[in-house]
Amino acid sequence: MKTDTIFYTLLQNLPSVLFELLEKPPQLATHYEFSSVEIKELARRIDGVFLPKIEYPEDPIYFVEVQFQNDDDLYWRLITEVFLYLNQYKPNKKWQAVVLWAKRSLDPGIPFAYQTSLQNGQIHVIYLDELTDTSSSIGLGIIKLVVSPEDEAVETARSLISLVQQADADKSRYLLELVERMLIYKFSTYTRQELEAMFGLTEWRQTRFYQEVKEEVQEETKLQTKLETIPLMLAEGITVEQIARVLQLDIEKVQQFIKTQGRKES
């Protein structure tokens, strides 16, 4: 399960959850468009950007980063991307970087160089496992579902489905589909029939929706399998360039995996 994929799907489909996390009115989501933005200098994209609509010129830009594993360089990289974005697009707006850590122990701490930005409110850090009452919010309930251990997630999912079914009829179907997508990610080893039985879902979308999400999960599983062979190939003296070619991966992805593994072993 690739957790950042889940969260970006959630933010794209239910953007109000960001403002709930920031303890702001969820209605503010109507002021924004969620998108990914290309940064030419890095030849990459910022995936989580909330850009204010033209009719709300006073609202800030939000840059969102979701992190579920150790990353000592996250703040350096994120702030670099933010300033490159500001230089490239030159928006006449305030901005805020929002970092969603799965748990506090993963956070290496904001570098001293960015403490002023923290004090000015330009960096906002949230630990998702420390969310308390999510019982009345579908968006926060989905987050609790994603971060909960599997044995707890089953009951969380059932409560969430019950909450969704109480929503307005116009929203209920859409929200249920979003919850179903999260369930497929969370319980990726289960069949559709098993999930239907577990959660009492009798109107599950059985066509393209289910297949698309399962294909995403399968692709992520294939990638993880490839990555797990890298240490063995390195031990045999195969170079990073050769590994990338054999596994049909970008060299940058191979190097990032090796760097992450090195941090875990140190």
pLDDT in tens, 26-54: 999 999 999 888 777 665 677 789 999 99
Report whether pLDDT(251) > 60.
yes
User: What single letter denotes the amino acid at residue 15?
Assistant: P
pLDDT (tens digit per residue) in 55-110: 999 999 999 999 988 899 999 999 999 999 999 999 999 999 999 999 999 999 99
- 154 and 65 housed in the same domain: no
- 235 and 207 housed in the same domain: no
Task: Look at strands 61-67 and 44-52 and give their pairing.
Answer: antiparallel
Which of 222, 237, 252 is the C-terminal boundary of a domain?
A: 222
- 195 and 250 housed in the same domain: no
- 19 and 108 housed in the same domain: yes
CA distance 165 to 207: 21
- 191 and 253 housed in the same domain: no
For residue 187, give its domain range: 133-222
- 5 and 110 housed in the same domain: yes
Report whether pLDDT(266) > 60.
no
- 47 and 87 housed in the same domain: yes
Q: What secondary structure letter does DSSP report for 166?
A: T
The 10 Å Cβ neighbour count of residue 126 is 15
pLDDT of residue 166: 83
Least confidently predicted of 19-33, 134-148, 150-164, 205-219: 205-219
Q: What secondary structure letter does DSSP report for 60?
A: P
- 95 and 146 housed in the same domain: no
CA distance 145 to 158: 10
- 1 and 102 housed in the same domain: yes
CA dihedral 91, 84, 263, 248 (to 10 degrees): 110
Q: Which residue has the tokens 């799965």?
A: 102
CA distance 97 to 107: 15
CATH number for position 91: 3.40.1350
Report whether pLDDT(152) > 90.
no
Here the tokens at position 54 are: 């033209």
- 122 and 137 housed in the same domain: no
pLDDT (tens digit per residue) in 117-140: 999 899 999 999 898 878 788 899
> How many domains in the chain?
3
Tell me what the mean pLDDT of segment 145-159 comes to. 86
Confidence category of residue 2, pLDDT binned at 50, 70, 90: low
Q: What secondary structure letter does DSSP report for 263?
A: H
- 41 and 120 housed in the same domain: yes
- 115 and 49 housed in the same domain: yes
pLDDT of residue 24: 94
The 10 Å Cβ neighbour count of residue 170 is 7
pLDDT of residue 173: 75
